[in-house]
Amino acid sequence: MALLLQLPLFPFNNMQPLYSSFSSTPFIGHRQKISKYYPVRCLPTTNFPLSSPARPTTNYQPTFWDYNYIQSLQIDFTEEKHILQRDKLKEEVRYLIGQQRDLIKQLELLDAMRRLGLDYHFNSEIKNLLNSISSSKQNIDDLMLNNNLHGSALLFRLLREHGINNAPILRVDALTSCFKKVRENFKPNHQHNIKEIISLYEASYLAVEGEEELDEMREFAMEYLSHLDRSLLSQELTEEIDHALELPLHWRLSRLHTRWYIDAYGKQENVNPILLELAKLDFNIVQSIYKIELKEMSRWWSNIGLVSDEINFSRDRLVENFSLAVGYTFQPKFWRCRKAITKINCFIALIDDIYDVYGTLDELKIFTNAIEEWNIATAQQLPDPMKICLAALFSTMNDISSSFSIEKELDVLLYLKRMWVDICKGFLIEAEWTYNGYTPKLIDYLENGWVTVSGTCVLTTLYSLSDDTTVETLKSWNFYPPIVRYSSMLFRLYNDLGTCKEEIQRGEKANSVQCYMKEIDVSESIARDHTRHLVRNFWKKLNGELIEFSTSIGSFKEGILGVPRTAQFLYQNGDGYAIDNGKIRDQIFYMIIEPIPL
């Protein structure tokens, strides 16, 4: 731990965006230091044919999800009767929101709606109620004077989750004062105290930089909850504690948590049957929409020609890629973004494998030039798999752009091109590191790695292809604002924690864990601890940006948190993308395939 405390964190507090504008040079600042040794500008294409080296083999598992199985999925909840029943239940819940008068029950109702995945139906009602609660001096006094830690922590979290940032309860010193007073009278294994501590624990993960008191409260809460005598607790409470300690709510993939919480909520003594019925029906309706989209994506993937004996070195992960798109933005209205990102995810996996395991360094330079010039003619010397990939990529991006242009009269192709140029230049840097047997310093690796992990592609797509996108919002887009950087950095760190073992076996030297091990000369265990330490700090940075950042692009707002949450889901127990250990498969099944019994 001493090592961790002595090491400076990265100087990102007063950071300028890595890319200052759409037309500016794409690699500036610290990344220029990297490019002095590993130039990102590719060499001109040569006029002689490249040799045909022996290609490395990979041991990626084939996809578990059979095409015929996907096409046979039953779509059970799209009939008019289901929609009408949901509308009826929504009105009953809307009435419930307006009639509830008890402050704590109001907050618990809003929290249940959020966990049950229903809050997107009631955004205006929820925000109006939270504004009303937080602007009432009487409400705040009742919470503080009565030392109601459960209510105070719950309101603190709900306000930050919904972007309401000017309430007195958001002062951390007020929450700290309440915590200290309650702590003096804690009773071991008392159910009320446990409820308070769970609320405090969940609220602490909304901390921003400088709120060290919340860190102290989180550590206390973890210690308290971890050492409870479980034999004195109900099974439901034990499951809630274990679920929270495994992963805080703020870090969880929302749709997967909703699936779990619907079951957990149904076991509670104070369950609201109307809310539960709506949650189950809505989950199944939305899931049916996902299955329709997945069938369409499966047909696209089957027809595009990228799954063949000739391209057998890459990961075939269509269903996983679609589940990631659901993780980034789950709301039904963002269907266009989900489908585009599914396609982009498929290309990212293939192109990443081209740079990592298939192409020679000379080939990769030509490949990157072809991406930069967006011209297949410059890639004629490349082997067929690389040319097939380029042709399919250009065609798909052109199709996505043209369909959006026809509907919205906006040209987004320049933005899609730019994100591909950036990620491929980053891939080339990593390929040169591997080719030269070079392990960069951690800060150099991360300066490149937060781009190559693909969060920039996801978030640029969510911003560009939203129904909320306008000419003005497109013009205001910078490549890339700090909020994109922090979200992507978390993706990178989670990815590296999950894939480090396999990357070492493949001979790759650029991974945040490996870079730190070599730079500081420490064990893998210490390097992993430091990486987790960075995860916590970048969550604080992201939380701070969320408070300051404002945009009308709903899919982008969802994606900012969806990117790290999805990464956490995918890499929590190792490389859940490349390796099918059954756990991710089961979670996808519950989230996208199997409806909830009504």
DSSP per residue, 292-308: HHHHHHHHHHHHTT-SS
- Whose structure tokens read 């969806």? 562
How many angstroms separate the CA atoms of 540 and 558, rounded? 17
How many angstroms separate the CA atoms of 137 and 414, rounded? 50
* 256 contacts 591 by C-beta, under 8 angstroms: yes
Which residue, among 358, 409, 417, has the nearest Cα to 393 in the 3D structure?
A: 417
494-536 pLDDT tens trace: 999 998 877 666 666 689 999 999 999 999 999 999 999 999 9
Mean pLDDT within 416-435: 96
| CA 11 vs CA 7, 8, 145, 351, 447: distances in Å | 12, 8, 40, 31, 12
> Both tokens of residue 126?
């929820």
Cβ neighbours of residue 325 closer than 8 Å, sequence gap 6 or more = 337, 338, 339, 341, 342, 345
Cβ neighbours of residue 476 closer than 8 Å, sequence gap 6 or more = none
DSSP for residue 171: -
> Both tokens of residue 408?
């919205």
DSSP for residue 206: T
* 442 contacts 487 by C-beta, under 8 angstroms: no
* 143 contacts 178 by C-beta, under 8 angstroms: yes
How many angstroms separate the CA atoms of 525 and 515, rounded? 13
* pTM for the whole structure: 0.90
> Both tokens of residue 560?
């900012």
Q: Which class does domain 304-593 fall in?
A: mainly alpha
Mean pLDDT within 146-170: 89
Mean pLDDT within 177-204: 85
Domain assignments of the chain as residue spans, ordered by start: 100-271, 304-593
Q: Would you tell me how many other CB atoms lie within 10 Å of the CB of residue 330?
A: 21
- pLDDT at res. 580: 76
- Whose structure tokens read 């987004």? 412
pLDDT higher than threshold 60 for residue 264 = yes
88-132 pLDDT tens trace: 999 999 999 988 788 999 999 999 999 999 999 999 999 999 999
Q: Would you tell me how many other CB atoms lie within 10 Å of the CB of residue 410?
A: 16
Which residue, among 177, 113, 170, has the nearest Cα to 149 in the 3D structure?
A: 177
Question: Cα 579 from chain centroid?
Answer: 19
Question: Residue 579 — pLDDT band, cuts 50, 70, 90?
Answer: confident
- pLDDT at res. 407: 86
Which residue, among 482, 483, 535, 543, has the nearest Cα to 512 in the 3D structure?
A: 535
- pLDDT at res. 18: 32
Q: Which CATH number fits domain 100-271: 1.10.3720.10, 1.50.10.130, 1.10.760.10, 3.40.50.9100?
A: 1.50.10.130
Which residue, among 310, 243, 292, 307, has the nearest Cα to 76 in the 3D structure?
A: 292
* 447 contacts 499 by C-beta, under 8 angstroms: no
How many angstroms separate the CA atoms of 317 and 364, rounded? 23
> Both tokens of residue 144?
């503080």
Question: Residue 22 — pLDDT band, cuts 50, 70, 90?
Answer: very low
- How many residues are given for the chain? 598
- pLDDT at res. 507: 61
Q: Would you tell me how many other CB atoms lie within 10 Å of the CB of residue 236?
A: 13
- Whose structure tokens read 């805080």? 248
pLDDT, the chain, mean: 88
